[in-house]
Structures are given as C-alpha cells and as structure tokens.
Structure 1
Amino acid sequence: MDDIDEKKGNDNTVVLSKEVGHGHDLHTTAHDADASAALVAGFTGELDPAEAARVLKKIDRHILPMMMVLYAVQFMDKTTLGNSANLGIKTDTNLSTLQYNWLGTIFYLAYLIFEWPQNLALQKLPIGKWMSLNIFCWSVFLMCHAACSNFVGLFICRLGLGVCEGSITAGFMISTTMFYTHAEAARRVSFWFLMNGTAQIISGLLSFAILHSKSSMAPWRIFMLTTGAITFIVAVWYFLYFPDSPMNARFLTHDEKIIAIERIRSNKTGIENKFWKKEQFIEALTDWKTWFFFVFAALDNVPNSLTNQNAIIIKSFGFTTLQTTLLGCVGGVVEIITLYTGSLCIKRWPNKRVVISVIYFLPNIIGACLILGLPFSNKTGQLVSLYVTGVGTTGFVLALAWVSAVNAGHTKKTTVNAVFLIGYCLGNLCAPQMWKAEYSPRNTIPWIIILACYIACPIIMVMIGYGLHRENVRRDALPEMEEEESYIDEVQADGTVVSRKLDMAFADLTDRQNLKFRYCL
C-alpha cells in the first residue's frame, strides 16, 4: 500500500523545525500527534457532502442545545448579584457601595487566578467531565449565597463562583473547534452567546415573579436557591451526555466519528492533544497576536461592568423596583437580536470578521456619546442610549471564535485562550471599581472610560486583521516546493514500526510551523 511504510527502530522522537511545509516528510508518534490521528490515519477517501451535512446536523442536535442552555444558566448565575441588588441584598446584608463593587471584582479576580490551571486541566482531563464537576461546584456556591448575612460570606461565595467560571468559556472554545469548521464555529459561538440575552430576560421575569411571592424568605435568597437548583440539574445533564471530543461522542457511530473529524480538516488545527508541549507554550507567549487579543479582551470587558450596574442605573431614572426588573429584560432582547443578525452576517460573509465587528461597535460609540451628551433629566433618551450600547456584543463574540481559529497546536491554542480570558478577567476585575458613589447618578467618569474602550476595540481588531492578512500574503508568495507528507508511527509487538499516512492537519503543528495554514479574517 502506498500510504503504509514499515521500518525497524525504536526512536520515534520528532523534533519540529520552526516552519514545516517545504518538501520534508514528517514522522510523528501518537504522543506528539493530534488525539484523533490514530482514528483517521490512512483515510484517503473523499467525504460525501451529503453525509458531512448529515453529521453536522446530528452534532448540532446533540451538543448545540446543551451549550446554549449552559451559557444561559451561566450568565443568569453570574448576574445574580445585579438582580439581587434590585431584590434587597444590599439592605439585608448591610453592603456599602464599595463592598458591593468588591463582590463583582472578587468573582473575576478568582477567575483570573484560576484561568491558567483551568485551561491546563481542560487539556489534560476529559473536557465534558471537568466542566460538569465545575458546574456542580458552581451550583453549590450559588445556593450557599442564600445562607449569607454579611459581606464576608458573600465574598467567599463569589470567590468560589469565579474559580468554577474559568472552565466554561474556555471549555466551550475548545469544544467548538473540535466539532466545527472555522466558518461554522463563528455562527455557533454567536448562538450560545446570544443565550446571555435570553438569560437576562429569564432573570428579569424570575425576579418579577419572586417579588410577587408571599414567602417570608427574602426575595434575593429565593432567587439564589432557584438559580442554584437549575444549575445543579444542568451539571448532572452535562456529566451524563456532553462529549469530551468527537472520538468518544456516544451519539456518533464509528464512521460518523471519522466524518466528524475529517470535516474539520480544513481548520488545520486537529482536535486535541493531551500532552503539554513546552515549545508550543513558548510560541504562544511570543506570538504578537496573543497580546493584541489580550488587550482587546481587557478593554472590551471594561463596559461589561454594566452587568451589575444596569439595574441600579435604570432604577436611578426614577422607575420602581417592579418596573426595573421588567425594563432589564429589554437589554436581553437587544442582545439576542444583535447576535442573531451578527451570525447571519458571518454566514453571508465568512471571511469579513473585522468589518462586521467594526460595524457593530459603532452603535456602542454612539450610545455612550448620547449618554454623556444628553441631559440626565432626559430619562427616555438615557434609557434608550443604554440599550444601544448592548449592540457591540457581536464584536466580542466574533473575537472569541476568531482567537481559536487563528491558532493551531493544542497546547498553543489552550495557552492563547487562557491569555485571552485572563484579559477578559482583568477588564471585568478592574471595571467595578470605577462605579464610585460620588459619581452617581450621572456616572460621567465611568462613561468616559467606557467610551474610550468602545473606540479602542475596533481599532485593535483592524490591526489584528491587517497583520494576519500580511502573513497570508507572505505565505502565498513563498516558492512552490515538493509536496511533503506526514506519517504517524506505531510500534508493533515485534518492534516493527508501522507508518500510516496522516494529513498534516492532524500532526498537532502550530500555525507558525505549518506553512499551509492560512489565517481566517
């Protein structure tokens, strides 16, 4: 057979040069190759488009609803503090404005500290099982809020939530690239991220219902117990049914698993590799785009502090507690519409992420300018402007999918994801501290800072896009060389090394090492 080569030897170690792609055959082992390599090695057939489409629909039916539900629950849980502020938590636990802001900060401080350990665990452990364990712990911490009567107790519970939170978005970023092509991933990220808007609506309606309850228990305590119980149910559901990768997805047959893996061959990123690679880690930290994405994530999430401030801001316009709970739902509707239209745009123009992101940031800039420019007495104008600033969420969602799409090599990808989410944490960690009591109710200083971030983020996106475009042009201009091939070496019981042909996409090469890799824009 042309794709099988037998040779004797025990040394299968492969030392990768900085760039692979100029006429040199690559031999690798199961240790160094992608985890899916053994399953697809030797596969030389052509995928039937109808079969590939059928498998995609099957993947969507099984994992996309789970991801969407969990993201809704996660966001609902994360924003319990903001909703509880409207339900009386500040009064019942004697929280000052500074202490309330620290409850928002400690969540992201814990997230920041544990983001790298969480990403390391996601690489080495089964993703589905690790996420379910974190969801379970999350539910326990959430329900424990109901037993708190002071700042210290709430502080500890919020810290616990931040520790667990680090596994969810990072796990979703990895899982999405395991099952979907780059073009498909951008839309799927939009789908599970738009559930944040759904969660805002559910939280608002739940808060409204709880305020009408006749229970002697404080409304915010009922709210915490209810959301915690929902999260616990989701944890059990994930443990039983969420796959760790296409290789062990129980809803796929053996042939469907091969099709699922071959579908994402064009990504040039493989599925996963459970072994941590120092050289990929170093490459991730010395890659310029890692830090551009980091700065983008940090600045884009400074305005995210509005999550815990929206109810307070809306109530400052003179609305009652009941009216505030319902008006909070409008922001959720805006986010759903925004992200859904964004997903349609990326489907229609799959390689125009930068342009689409910049367009969606423009309403945010306009909204922030109106909030600063309109008289505070113009409550309607202020409220509408506040809702308009929710449109730019699409920019962050596209960046979230983009950062995984433009990095290859499993250790590198998880490292870059971690750096991106650390930036996300820093923005969310620092931002609550700008909402000081002396700035209320106009909050001019916080809104100036938010406006500056809204202006900087699209500029950074354009810079990243320009840099990646130049690299694509450089690679396209490289001279044509003899086509190289890659093989996975397997040692048999008698010491014979059997080499099976393997697509370079499954050799766990980084985007720098694989010169056939092209950056999506």
Structure 2
Amino acid sequence: MASEEKPPSHDVDKSTSVAHEVKVAEADIKDEAGAFAVRALMSGAVDDEASRKVRRKIDYRILPFMCITYALQFIDKTSLGYSSIYGIIPDNKLQGQDYSWASSIFYFGYLLAEYPGIAILQRFPVAKFLGVNIVLWGAILMVTATCSSFSGLATARFILGMVEATISPGFVAITGIWWTRQEQAGRSALWISFLGVGSFVGVLLAYGIGHIQGSLSTWKYIYLILGSVTIAWGIAFALFVPDSPTSVKWLGEDEKVVAIQRVIENKTGTKSRHFVKDQVMEAVTDPKVIVLGLISFVNAIASGGLAFGSLIIQGFGFTPLQTTLMNLPLSIVQVIAQLGGGFLTTRISSSRLHVASVAMIPPIVGTVLINQLHESNKWGRLVGVWLLGSYPVGFMIILGLLSTNIAGSTKRSVASGWVFVCYCVGQIAGPQFFKSTEAPAYRSGIVAMLCGFVLNLILNQVLRFLYVLENRKRDKDLEGKSEDEIAEMKRTGDLQGFEDITDKNNATFRYAL
C-alpha cells in the first residue's frame, strides 16, 4: 500500500492565504479605513520601496504643519509670560496672586474642554476640527489685547484653554494614524521639539515687539501680532492637512493601501468612530494608563511653574529686554534635549523611559542651584534656570507612548483624556506654589518643581517595570506553540487592530519601552 504523500509546501501556503483572506472578508472591520483596510490586510507585506515613497510624502505633507502648529501653540499659551514684563500686570490691575490665577485659569478651561473635545475628535474629521480650533484660539488672542481687568484677562485665558485643549490629543491621534510604531518616536520627538523652537522664536518676537513705540501698550502688540498669525495658519491647516489616508488627495488609490499596510503592525488601526463602553472601564482600571497620568501631572507642575520663568530671571536684576534675551538659552536647551531624546529613542531599542528618566537629572540640578546659591550669584542661578530646559523630554515620551501603547479607539480616547486632565491639574497647581510674598526668589515654587522632577524620574521606571512585566507574561504564553500557530496569531492580531480590539485583548500586542 502506497504511503500517503504530504501536500507540497506551496499548496499549504496557498491554503493558509485563502483562509486568511476569508477571515479578513468576514471580519467586523470598525476602522474608518474600511475597504482600504481590507485590501491592505489581504495584500500581505508592504513593498519596502513603496513604503519609503509613501512615508516621504507623509513626512513632507503633514509633519511641517504639526511642527509649526505646536510651536505656535507654545508661543500663544505662554504669551502671558512674555507680556508679564511689558506692562500687562499694572494695565490689568493684577495684585497678589492674580497673576498666578491668570496663569492657572487657562488650564481650568483646558480641563473643562478635554473630554468633550476628545469625544468630538473620535467622531469628526481630525484635521478639520483642529484647524477650526486653531483659528478660534488666534481670535481669542487678539481679543485679549482689549482686556483691562483681572476678570477680563481671566475670561480670555479660560476660553483660550478650552480651544487649545484638543491640539495635543489630536496630534497623538494623527501620529498613530500615519506612522509605524518604529517611526512614531522620532516623529513625535520632532513635532514636540517645536515647543523649544516656539520658545526660542517667541523670545525673539517678544524682544522685537518690545522695541515697538506705538500708541498701544507693548504687551497688546504681542497678542495682536500672534493672534493674526495664528488665524492665518489655522486656515491653512484646515485646508491642507488630510483627516485620514482614505481621504488624502496627494496619494493614489494604491498608495492609500500602502499607507494603511504600513501601520498594520501597530495593531491600533487608524481610527474608529464607535464608542465601546467596556473600553472605558478597561482604561480607568489599567495601572499602566494610571501611571501615565501621574507622570503627566508631576511633569506639568514644573511646566506651570515656568510661567514665572521671566519673573524669576528679572528678579536676578535684569531689565525687561535683557530678561527676554536671557530666556534664549533655555529655549536652545529645550530643542537640543528633545531632538537628542528623540534621536536616542530611535537608535537605542527599549530606551524611551530610560531617556525620560535621565532627562530629569539636569532640572534636578538646576532647581538646587536656583534655591541654594546665594542671591548675589545671579549667573550661577541663571544657569540653574537654563538647566530646566530638558524636562519637556518627559512629556514628549508619554505622548509617544499614548499613540504606540494603547489600542482600542475608545480606550485610547479615555486614556488621552486622563493624561491631559492630569496635565491640566499639574499646570493649575504649579503656579500656586509661586507666592507673590516670596518674589523674586519664589523658593516654595522652586521646591515644588524639584519634587516634580524627582517623582517624574521614579514614575518613569515604575511604568517601564509594568510594561516589561506584561511583555514577559505574553511571551511566556507563546511558549510551546509552533511557528505556524504563532504566525496565525500574528495575522489575527494584525486584523484585530482594525476590529477596534484593545491592547489588553490582543495576544500579540507588545508594549514599547
């Protein structure tokens, strides 16, 4: 009797491919990509040259808008700091803690609008919604120039916070839609580094505007000029930034499929408009998400304190124009630290949270110098202020982790909301440690910043431990499985990314470190 022959391997591969196509065709695709997602999943691995070509288009057409917008946002929301040395305090009759509250109240508006804004982001075209918000915040800046009292200034700042609340969560979503997990760290680092660019340009603008001799107070020109530029930019953003790979005009039909193929291994899909109640509970009970929020909080305490940066430097004995120029090195440190941090995370695998921890060391040294050096040592204390410039690397890292380490559209929205709510609370709390009775040294505020930096360093390592623990557990679950079983699980995991399955429920999902 003849022995039974095994089917040729190519027949097995063909059978597996057909089975996969059937599974894809029958899948419950909830992703906005729809039919393009189905084509991408059935097309197999993306061609390297085609991927590079599409990536170049995405980088050139989207990244510049994100970078410049983030720079503008930083300049605009810190305009109060620039104007603090050009007369806004006496012109608006600010006394006692009024300036601290004018700084903090921006984040009350931010806090109020955060979850409603993120819910709208999930249900409406991302880029168009952000473009409208950019135009609105530019208009509010121009209105701020008409303020003449604490109540008027506080109102303008509150509304400004509301319309800026969705920019960072929106950019996290855009990063997850267009770039692979490996690319996201570098791209996030680039657009977030424009916080430093914005700080640098803002200082130069404030210095230039400080020389204007017009009929209005100098601080009013800051708001009028920044507001008009922002309105024009918001219109351009809404017109030229696409909402998704399926709606973009500068990609052909096949290139749209490639754009989606590129992000399949992210296992997060592009975007789903479906609300899933179970994902809300998963987000609020996930310890990794909770720690992300705590890191955002302690990082923001320091950021809120830097609203007093110009006043601290002026307290060293510099004139208003000199104070403006002395902010430039701080901006340069920010840019170098963020770009350097982004470079390291792309070159050294599993290094994101280590880089974030190391970035807290210069600010820790800086706060000690500011508080411990004698008041007569103004240059040593000024160096301490400049060393604070590396702290935004921590914020850059957690924004990157939001886009790479959380799957499930509703879960990601809730997690983003939590992280930015914590960010708002930290920004509100930070300026309150700076008491007017302690001016110009503000020792309590500097100590609060120091505590924030130390806690940031520790929490980064706690989060990394949680990610490592979960990855090891999932790797252990694969032990004993054959290569074919693992390959099938991988294909299923890729598909689940477009079925709006969360990271917790996707067995092949691994957390970036």
Q: Same fold (TM over 0.5)?
A: yes
Over the aligned positions, Cα root-mean-square deviation in angstroms equals 2.1
1:334 equivalent to 2:342? Answer no
2:393 is matched with: 394
Would the aligned equivalents of 1:317 and 1:379 in 2 still touch at CA under 8 Å? yes
Higher relative contact order (CA 8 A, sep 6+): 1
Deviation at 1:403, TM superposition (A): 2.4
Would the aligned equivalents of 1:268 and 1:504 in 2 still touch at CA under 8 Å? yes
2:3 is matched with: none
Whole-Å Cα distance in 2 between the matches of residues 285 and 66 of structure 1? Answer: 32
Whole-Å Cα distance in 1 between the matches of residues 64 and 359 of structure 2? Answer: 26
Deviations 1:430-475 (A, max 9, x none): 1111111122222221111111111111111111111111111111
Deviations 1:285-307 (A, max 9, x none): 11111111111111111010233
Would the aligned equivalents of 1:302 and 1:428 in 2 still touch at CA under 8 Å? yes
Whole-Å Cα distance in 2 between the matches of residues 186 and 104 of structure 1? Answer: 31
Deviation at 1:502, TM superposition (A): 7.6
Whole-Å Cα distance in 2 between the matches of residues 206 and 5 of structure 1? Answer: 57
Q: Which residue of the other structure, out of 30, 34, 39, is the alignment partner of 2:36?
A: 39
SS of the aligned residue for 2:360 comes to: helix
2:84 is matched with: 85
| Higher strand content, 1 or 2 | 1
1:200 is matched with: 199
Report which stretch shifted further, 307-316 or 42-51: 42-51
Would the aligned equivalents of 1:87 and 1:207 in 2 still touch at CA under 8 Å? no
SS of the aligned residue for 2:84 comes to: helix
| Higher helix content, 1 or 2 | 2
1:352/1:96 CA distance change after superposition, 3 Å: same
Any unmatched runs of 5+ in structure 2?
1-16
2:304 is matched with: 305
Any unmatched runs of 5+ in structure 1?
7-23, 489-500
1:9 is matched with: none
2:374 is matched with: 375
Deviations 1:72-96 (A, max 9, x none): 1111100110001011100111111
2:290 is matched with: 291
2:4 is matched with: none
2:66 is matched with: 67
1:11 is matched with: none
Deviations 1:141-172 (A, max 9, x none): 11001111111111111111010111100100
Q: Which residue of the other structure, out of 493, 497, 511, is the alignment partner of 1:505?
A: 497
5 Å-filtered alignment, 1:416-435, equals 416-435=415-434
2:103 is matched with: 104
Would the aligned equivalents of 1:72 and 1:199 in 2 still touch at CA under 8 Å? yes
Whole-Å Cα distance in 2 between the matches of residues 148 and 292 of structure 1? Answer: 39
1:273 equivalent to 2:272? Answer yes
1:240/1:383 CA distance change after superposition, 3 Å: same
Identity %: 32
Would the aligned equivalents of 2:406 and 2:503 in 1 still touch at CA under 8 Å? yes
Whole-Å Cα distance in 1 between the matches of residues 490 and 84 of structure 2? Answer: 58
TM-score (norm 2): 0.92
Letter of the aligned partner of 1:387 in structure 2?
W
SS of the aligned residue for 1:217 comes to: coil
1:173 is matched with: 172
Whole-Å Cα distance in 1 between the matches of residues 165 and 102 of structure 2? Answer: 17
Would the aligned equivalents of 2:330 and 2:388 in 1 still touch at CA under 8 Å? no
Deviations 1:486-505 (A, max 9, x none): 999xxxxxxxxxxxx98333
Deviation at 1:27, TM superposition (A): 5.2
Q: Which residue of the other structure, out of 8, 11, 18, is the alignment partner of 1:2?
A: 18
Would the aligned equivalents of 1:28 and 1:487 in 2 still touch at CA under 8 Å? no
Deviation at 1:135, TM superposition (A): 1.0
Deviation at 1:392, TM superposition (A): 2.3
2:507 is matched with: 515
Whole-Å Cα distance in 2 between the matches of residues 510 and 406 of structure 1? Answer: 10
Whole-Å Cα distance in 1 between the matches of residues 416 and 276 of structure 2? Answer: 15
Whole-Å Cα distance in 2 between the matches of residues 269 and 25 of structure 1? Answer: 16
Would the aligned equivalents of 2:92 and 2:149 in 1 still touch at CA under 8 Å? yes
Letter of the aligned partner of 2:466 in structure 1?
G
TM-score (norm 1): 0.90
1:124 is matched with: 123
Deviations 1:200-231 (A, max 9, x none): 22222222222222211111111100000010
Letter of the aligned partner of 2:321 in structure 1?
L
Letter of the aligned partner of 1:62 in structure 2?
R
Whole-Å Cα distance in 2 between the matches of residues 130 and 164 of structure 1? Answer: 11
Whole-Å Cα distance in 2 between the matches of residues 427 and 255 of structure 1? Answer: 46
Letter of the aligned partner of 1:95 in structure 2?
L
Deviation at 1:346, TM superposition (A): 1.2
Would the aligned equivalents of 1:404 and 1:417 in 2 still touch at CA under 8 Å? no
SS of the aligned residue for 2:18 comes to: coil
Whole-Å Cα distance in 2 between the matches of residues 370 and 407 of structure 1? Answer: 39
2:213 is matched with: 214
Letter of the aligned partner of 1:273 in structure 2?
S
Letter of the aligned partner of 2:265 in structure 1?
S
Letter of the aligned partner of 2:510 in structure 1?
R
